[in-house]
Structure 1
Amino acid sequence: MRSDLRLSALRRHRLFESADLDETRELISRVMQPHSLLPRGNTHSRSHMDFVRIGRLGIGTISFGAAIQVDVEAVDGYFLMMLCVAGHAEVRAAGRTIIVDDQRAVIRAPGEPFSALLSPDCEQLIMRIDPASLSDDAASIIGAETSVSLASGPMRAWKEQLKLVASSDDLLNIAAHNPTVGAHVESLLVSLLCGHDAGHGISPRSSIAPQFVRRAEEFMAANLATPIQLSEIASAAGVPVRTLSEGFLRFRHTSPISLLRQMRLDRARQIIRESTSDLRVATIALDCGFAHLGRFAQGYRDRFGELPSETRRRGQPR
């Protein structure tokens, strides 16, 4: 089924087209996060992705041209919202199977996993939301959701606004290249997205975290060098995964996996600053739980504004 969303302007921001599945996976990963793609059939058609940034939002479409399963171990540091402008997807998330189409969207918070089985004619419309664009309460509202109907008043308005942006060349180009206009469009879309739950009386976050959050943090701090899964953290904290994720969003403004990555980076920086040049950065990365040196270096630079080698060259602080 074809959605009523018209995306003529967005389609002029074509990021790539490819008939090679490995290339498709690599190119999507540059914009989103590492993932696996498993064709459900004997053929793979031509894939494409359209993508544009508006303020701290990223809006795009993805189509594989064939039935395919997408597995994501953890959404990488942003909130992801996905619906279908054609076809449908069966999304497995938070222990539920959600049928996603042009009337129902799925939402995943930073660090959360999901799996999606896409129909052959499926074209996804995705929005990646930088947590910095959200207030504490907005992050709590969005992070508490797994799926949302697009038929309600605020979400119907959100869909109409998104349709306007994606179908107007002038508006999309101005919003993408003018920071002031982009900030206004970002604010409108985020406000409408959060407005769907505005009547539920969600209270502001407390600065005092419950015991299960602190137990999770203690477990993570004691296992920085060990590969651990979200389910293991939840088990150590004594709560279900969903409760753990909601607690971290409410009291720590991030996901457990994102905080674990920050803790590992902080520990690596401390070791680099205190160690001699005889201890290789690659060894430090491995000892702090990073199996992929390239991703460690990129994450380190994103967090501290410099590469590990630059920290080492500057030597110990006075």
Structure 2
Amino acid sequence: MVGDEGTLLTGVRATRVDGALSEAEQDLILPSTEEHDLDLFRDRLNAAYYPAFVDVVGSKPKLDHGRLNAAKLGRVTVGFVRFGHQAVVDPGTIDGFHVNVPVAGMIGSRCGDQSVLARPGTAAVFTPNGPTKLPFWSADAAQLCLKISRAALEHELEGLLGRPVPGRLEFGMALDLGTPAGQQWNRALRSLVDSVSMGGLPGTVSDYLERAVICQLLFAADHNLGEELAAGRSAPLPGAVRRVVELIDGAPEVLLTAADLARHAGVGVRRLEQGFRESLGTTPSAYHHKVRLERARADLLEPATGETVTSVMYRWGFSNHARFAANYRARFGENPAETLRRSLGA
């Protein structure tokens, strides 16, 4: 079951008993022309999402009614993918969170030591940094593919928890779209896809819809912080850790040594590091670095007149161009120059 009324998108109703959409119904989702050339399809898929090994199973070289259309927004990339052929997709380790929502067929999916057979009514959720593979994509399969910036998802989770994310977030792979929470998330995704399909989406509206999809996913999907999130409360940070977090959040551009932070916390360096690891799963310096990168990204997403990557880099305490670009790319999946060009509409 997909959605509370058997629908996936506004005006599109699943007519088959298994909840799958017919090919004609699928073609109303992010409409685009068909693609029959596997090499072109592979290149476009990799450009929109992740570098991946992509191939079809069997001897038939051409795709049958293949279709791909993806839109890269501020926080997410959302797209529709249909090979029209049995296929294998192996992106290896991915750099962001990702959700695949089948509208027809079946897709075998693996992430780390988890696996799920995704089909209409059951989505697959992928956590970054684990080996990822789609070893089976049935010939009739089609799905919505949602790539979510790791920083954007963790930022929303921090807001919901009321504190920094404590360590690594791990999702369970299977997302049941038939539960009330699953239906609510599916409606949020449906609104985003409908708005992208219509085009001309104002930035403020896109921003709201993207954040709504991310927030609803955190409530709909299973993950290791789900109980704390559902309880609506979080354990207070120890005083020393809280004081340093507040100091860093208040002025992340100020570069501080380990001694500076320990002095502000009122404890020794080793005790402060231990407190950070126990409470937040990181170190004070790593937390400071993360916050500075996030502030730099915020400035690149909404640049002032005449803004450059260099000016942003220096503003937030980074001095080495190559290292800044590498760290930024590792966290956000793109170079800082790419973020700035997109924000400027270049």
TM bucket normalised to smaller: 0.5 to 0.7
2:56 aligns to what? 39
State the secondary structure of the residue aligned to 2:172.
coil
Shift of 1:176: 5.8
Q: What are the Cα deviations for residues 243-265 of structure 1, in whole angstroms up to 9, with x where unaligned?
A: xxxx9xx7359xxxxx9xx9xxx
Matched, 1:189 2:213: yes
Shift of 1:17: 3.8
Identify which of 251, 255, 258 aligns with 2:281: 251
1:4 aligns to what? 7
Matched, 1:87 2:105: yes
Q: Structure 2 length normalisation: TM-score?
A: 0.54
Q: 1:101 to 1:204 in 2, by over 3 A?
A: farther
Matching residue's letter, 1:45: L
2:44 aligns to what? 27
Q: 1:206 to 1:31 in 2, by over 3 A?
A: farther
Identify which of 141, 155, 160 aligns with 2:187: 160
Shift of 1:159: 0.9
State the secondary structure of the residue aligned to 1:154.
helix
Map 1:122-161 → 2, pairs under 5 A: 122-136=141-155, 138=157, 143-161=170-188
- Distance of 1:191 and 1:129 partners within structure 2: 11
- Distance of 2:172 and 2:110 partners within structure 1: 14
% identical equivalent positions: 19
- Distance of 2:173 and 2:322 partners within structure 1: 39
Aligned residues: 226
Shift of 1:79: 1.1
Asked if structure 2 preserves the Cα contact closer than 8 Å seen for 1:174 and 1:181, the reply is: no
Q: 1:74 to 1:133 in 2, by over 3 A?
A: same
Unaligned runs of 5+ in 1: 209-246, 254-258, 263-268, 274-294, 307-318
State the secondary structure of the residue aligned to 2:140.
coil
Shift of 1:129: 0.8
- Distance of 1:138 and 1:148 partners within structure 2: 18
Runs ≥4 residues deviating over 4 A = 139-142, 173-176, 202-208, 269-273, 298-306
Asked if structure 2 preserves the Cα contact closer than 8 Å seen for 1:54 and 1:176, the reply is: no
Q: What are the Cα deviations for residues 48-83 of structure 1, in whole angstroms up to 9, with x where unaligned?
A: 2122244412211111101111111111x3211112
Identify which of 89, 100, 109 aligns with 2:118: 100
Q: 1:146 to 1:204 in 2, by over 3 A?
A: farther
Map 1:46-125 → 2, pairs under 5 A: 46=64, 47-75=66-94, 77-116=95-134, 117-125=136-144
Q: Structure 1 length normalisation: TM-score?
A: 0.58
- Distance of 2:123 and 2:68 partners within structure 1: 19
Shift of 1:26: 1.1
Asked if structure 2 preserves the Cα contact closer than 8 Å seen for 1:54 and 1:175, the reply is: no
Q: 1:97 to 1:135 in 2, by over 3 A?
A: closer
Asked if structure 2 preserves the Cα contact closer than 8 Å seen for 1:9 and 1:172, the reply is: no
Q: What are the Cα deviations for residues 272-291 of structure 1, in whole angstroms up to 9, with x where unaligned?
A: 79xxxxxxxxxxxxxxxxxx
Asked if structure 2 preserves the Cα contact closer than 8 Å seen for 1:142 and 1:194, the reply is: no
Asked if structure 2 preserves the Cα contact closer than 8 Å seen for 1:54 and 1:185, the reply is: no
- Distance of 2:41 and 2:337 partners within structure 1: 30
- Distance of 2:92 and 2:34 partners within structure 1: 25
- Distance of 2:56 and 2:141 partners within structure 1: 13
State the secondary structure of the residue aligned to 2:7.
coil
State the secondary structure of the residue aligned to 1:201.
helix
Asked if structure 1 preserves the Cα contact closer than 8 Å seen for 2:111 and 2:127, the reply is: no
Q: 1:21 to 1:200 in 2, by over 3 A?
A: same
- Distance of 2:146 and 2:322 partners within structure 1: 37
Matching residue's letter, 2:84: G
Q: What are the Cα deviations for residues 196-215 of structure 1, in whole angstroms up to 9, with x where unaligned?
A: 2586125579799xxxxxxx
Shift of 1:32: 0.7
State the secondary structure of the residue aligned to 2:67.
strand
Matching residue's letter, 2:120: D
1:180 aligns to what? 204
Asked if structure 1 preserves the Cα contact closer than 8 Å seen for 2:29 and 2:197, the reply is: no
Shift of 1:172: 3.2
- Distance of 1:59 and 1:40 partners within structure 2: 26
Shift of 1:121: 0.1
- Distance of 1:136 and 1:54 partners within structure 2: 16
